[in-house]
Amino acid sequence: MVSTPHFTRFPDGPASALQALPLPFDSSDRSHILALLRLGDYFQDACLATDTHDHIIYMNRSAERLFGYRHGAALGVPVQTLMPDVELIKSRLDQEPARQTLLWRGKGRHRQSRALPLTGAVTHIPSSSGRSHLYVLRTRKTGGSNEIERQAELASLVYRNTSEGMLVLDPKGIILDVNPAFVSLRGRAESDVIGRHVRCLNSPCHDREFYSTMWRTVMETGSWQGEHWGQHANGELYPEWLSINTSFGPEGEPQRRVMIFSNIAEIKQAEAMIWKQANFDRLTDLPNRQMFHDRLEQSIRKARRANGRIGLLFLDLDRFKEINDTLGHAMGDELLKEAARRLSGCARQSDTVARLGGDEFTVLLDDVHEPRDIERLTRSILAELAEPFRLGVETVFISTSIGVTFFPDDATDAETLLNNADQAMYSAKADGRNRSRYFTASMQERAQTRMRLVNDLHLALDQNQFSLHYQPIVDLSTGQVAKAETLLRWHHPVRGLVSPAEFIPLAEETGIIRALGDWVFCEATRQAAEWRQQFQSDIQISVNISPAQLRHEGLDLDFWQAHLNTLGLASEHVIIEITEGLLMDSDDDRIRQQLSAFRQAGVQVALDDFGTGYSSLSYLRKFDIDFLKIDQSFVANLRPGSADLALCEAIILLAHRLGLRVVAEGIETIPQYQLLSGVGCDFGQGYLFARPMPAHAFESLLQTGVDTRPFRDGLA
Ligand code: C2E
Ligand code: MG
Ligand code: MG
């Protein structure tokens, strides 16, 4: 029986066979193949497709029945098993131009080894590159005389009952017969068409050229198939799959032609739906990443041909995450929808505005003549998105950062262009957000250096490229070295010494900071234990902790504690330095828990770089901080009577009241030392006393001490 068009079979039929294709067929190849394979689901003929290695990648039900396989059982089987003649057929095909269909007659083999006399057509589809090949075979069994009668009977049964419209033509194209399905499909009576030329069915959607090519193919190869717009007697047009086949007489002369029409409107609709889902963002209705890539590739091809220029904008909404977190995802979605609307409003009809995901958007502009055009666009986007967003009862303000890059000026392929625009966007963020930045070569260079550093960083710990330097922290009242801050150093094999300011952020992003932080802690505390023993010094060792070490799974405190126990070093001799930002994340309970676990274990906590962040004194109380380190930027500008001095004095006063002691960082001059000492600062650290130095140098310092007398002598 002819299989009726059955939509549910379509997704696991040709489309999935196509997905399984590991071949570099491009989209036009693919749609051609899909069209061919789709036939398999509609017709009585056995239909199968093979890949470059002659393995079966698709087989319809008729083929499974013909060759005796269970559903899906023949996938992956070499086609030679079923069709021993296939080599012969292929070698014939190779002499034909690409995509030609060859009619053949030969032998097949049933799964139970029975020989099957077969007749059919095979089509060869090379990929555009010519390196891969797909064969689509359509075949059916031929029979002896009894068989012929039986088949004729069967055919007539099918002809009368199938839901596909069929008509039979003589070789000149005169309609000899139509089946009932045709009558209902086209709404035309038998008497209305029988005896007339088939061109009476031509549809206004196709031109003369279309029909003449179609019939020429039928004359030459015996068959044609493809999409066709059919017209109902009431004038309505609908898409149909049309297939024309020829039966030949004993001398090979055409005797009859059979046309089969199946309505594919539903499938088209489903296809359109699937296509939309695959290519458009459901929230904003904008093209999605996939579609954007297609359009970008297309624009690049066009611009290459026409020597044109393309502009690419990459946008990221500033602080969108905060809105999402505070107002909830539903509001976040509303904001994205509205932002998409405003963005589309700024762009021209011909531009592509897409949403790549999250709060990332792109705008693709073809035919950019003047960079000024872009200037106007970015300005209007920035202004539009800065307007208030009304989300329910809330009014929200956001801004956006835009990166701009051009083809062919900055790059000539899609991926690099997108990377460039992304980098430029980051630089817009780094420059303070709510602005646009053009991509520059130096951005590229920075990004590349960064990437190389990240790679090297992965190896550095294993290859012992890190070491620790120590900088003394001096008790300002006695001049004694009271503590040492541990500062990490990376000796890069090629670049030499790399600053922690450069590599710590990379280590944080890549997660390497966890292993690195453990190493620093173990090494620094080992060193401190050694010094205590060797010099009977009661120096405290201070270790910087990155927020990233405390987030997610957090630190392995048991491991740290066990390490201290083995060293015989009391926790009181260890200080960890954290930054203010970490305390602001205090709704992250884990961080609070870990800090208090440290404190309970006896480890002291110093708040580093105080004054550069939120400088909230209420946090100091909440978190049980022991030391406060005034950032060097305040110390640098200390002068008698200066605002910074007043600020330092106020900080010290308050800190003391809260029971904290204060370390001033970055003391470089005697006046700075004296001023800080004068306002009651407890400790000082800076080049004036000593620069950070390797362990062996620090040992001599431990022995000699820092002589602060000359500075103190000058004190009034
Ligand atoms: P920080 O913790 O605030 O460290 C003080 C920084 O100031 C050090 O820079 C030190 O060399 C520098 N410094 C000290 N005295 C003076 C001075 O008188 N004048 C000037 N201009 N600078 C002075 P360094 O060693 O480059 O470290 C920079 C930052 O890297 C550190 O700032 C810290 O945040 C981070 N860091 C260093 N080692 C580690 C580590 O082991 N782990 C983590 N997580 N971060 C680290
Ligand atoms: Mg520090
Ligand atoms: Mg600091």
How does pLDDT run across 394-428, given as a tens digit for each residue? 899 999 999 999 999 999 999 999 999 999 999 99
For the chain, what percent of residues have pLDDT higher than 90?
Answer: 49
pLDDT band at 331 (very low <50, low <70, confident <90, very high): very high
What average pLDDT does the chain have? 85
Which amino acid, 25?
F
**DSSP state at residue 174:** B
Ligand 3: centre distance to CA 513 (Å): 18
Amino acid identity, position 557: L
pLDDT at 3: 29
Segments of the chain assigned to CATH 3.30.70.270: 282-439
Of 665, 653, 660, 576, nearest to 612 by C-alpha is: 665
Mutate to test the pocket of ligand 1, among 487, 687, 706 (most ligand atoms within 8 A of CB): 487
Residue 153: predicted pLDDT: 55
For ligand 2, the distance from its centroid to the CA atom of residue 663, given in whole angstroms, is 11
Ligand nearest to the Cα of 504, by number: 1
Q: What is the DSSP letter of 200?
A: G
DSSP string, 389-426: EEETTEEE--EEEEEEEEETTT-SSHHHHHHHHHHHHH
Q: For the beta carbon of residue 694, count every other beta carbon within 10 angstroms.
A: 12
Among the atoms of ligand 1, which is closest to the Cα of residue 468? 41
For 71, which DSSP code? T
Per the DSSP assignment, residues forming a β-bridge with 483 are 473, 540
User: Which atom of ligand 1 is least distant from the CA of 499?
Assistant: 26
The reported pLDDT for the residue numbered 15 is: 47
pLDDT for the residue numbered 583: 67
Alpha helices (H) in 169-259, listed in sequence order: 180-186, 190-193, 208-221
Residue 579 CA: nearest ligand 1 atom is: 34
Please report the pLDDT score of residue 82 as a whole number: 92
* Residue nearest ligand 1's atom 33 by CA: 544
* Superfamily of chain region 14-142: PAS domain (3.30.450.20)
- Compute the distance between CA of residue 44 and CA of residue 238 in angstroms, rounded to an integer: 23
Paired with 46 in beta bridges are: 139
Start-end of CATH 3.30.450.20 domains in the chain? 14-142, 157-268
**Closest residue (by CA) to atom 25 of ligand 1?**
487
CA separation for the pair 653, 647 (Å, rounded): 10
Strand 481-492 to 540-544 pairing? parallel
Q: Give the three-class secondary structure for 240.
A: strand
281 and 273 Cβ atoms separated by less than 8 Å: no
Tokens of 362: 């792109």
pLDDT for the residue numbered 537: 85
459-469: pLDDT as tens digits:
999 999 999 99
Distance 685 CA to ligand 3 centre (A): 10
**Averaged over 482-493, what is the pLDDT?**
96
**CA of residue 471 to ligand 3 center, whole Å:** 12
pLDDT (0 to 100) of residue 7:
22
The pLDDT, as a whole number, for residue 610 is: 87
What band does 563 get if pLDDT is binned at 50, 70 and 90? very high
Lowest model confidence (mean pLDDT) among 35-44, 381-390, 527-536 = 35-44
Per-residue pLDDT tens digits for 564-583: 999 999 999 999 999 876 66
Instruction: Specify the pLDDT at position 472.
Output: 97
Atom of ligand 1 nearest to the CA of 549: 44
Instruction: Give residue 210's pLDDT.
Output: 95
Give pLDDT, residue 58. Answer: 84
Cβ contact 80:86 at 8 Å: yes
Matching CATH number, 282-439, of 2.60.40.1220, 3.30.70.270, 3.40.190.80, 3.30.1330.40: 3.30.70.270
Query: Is the model's pLDDT at 1 over the cut of 50?
Result: no
The set of protein residues with a Cβ atom below 6 angstroms from ligand 1 is 471, 486-488, 499-501, 504, 520, 544-546, 577, 608-609, 632, 665-668, 685-687, 692
Q: Who has greater pLDDT, 269 or 667? A: 667
pTM of the model: 0.54
Protein residue with its CA nearest to atom 45 in ligand 1: 544
| CA 520 to ligand 1: nearest atom | 41
pLDDT digits (tens, 9 = 90+) for 581-639: 666 654 556 777 888 888 888 999 999 988 876 666 666 777 788 999 999 998 999 99
**Residue 110 CB neighbours (<10 A):** 14
pLDDT, tens only, 153-204: 556 666 777 778 999 999 999 998 888 889 989 999 888 899 999 999 999 9
Report the CATH number of the 453-715 domain: 3.20.20.450
Task: Return the top range by mean pLDDT from 138-142, 641-645, 695-699.
Answer: 695-699
Would the pLDDT of 9 be above 60? Answer: no
Q: Which residues contact 321 (CB under 8 A, 6 or more apart)?
A: 359
Q: In this model, does residue 42 exceed pLDDT 60?
A: no
pLDDT digit string, tens, across residues 208-218: 999 999 999 99
Pick the CATH number of 157-268 from 3.20.20.70, 3.40.50.12160, 3.40.30.10, 3.30.450.20: 3.30.450.20
Banded model confidence at residue 10, pLDDT cuts 50, 70, 90:
very low
| More confident of the two residues 678 and 42 | 678
Residues 6+ apart with CB under 8 A from 212: none
- Contacts for 481 with CB less than 8 Å, ≥ 6 apart: 472, 473, 474, 475, 539, 701, 702, 705, 706
Grade residue 365 by pLDDT with cuts at 50, 70 and 90.
Answer: very high
- Range(s) of the chain covered by CATH 3.20.20.450: 453-715
Q: Is 314 within 8 Å of 360 (Cβ atoms)?
A: yes
Average pLDDT over residues 73-98: 80
Angle of the 265-279 helix axis to the 289-306 helix axis, nearest 10: 90
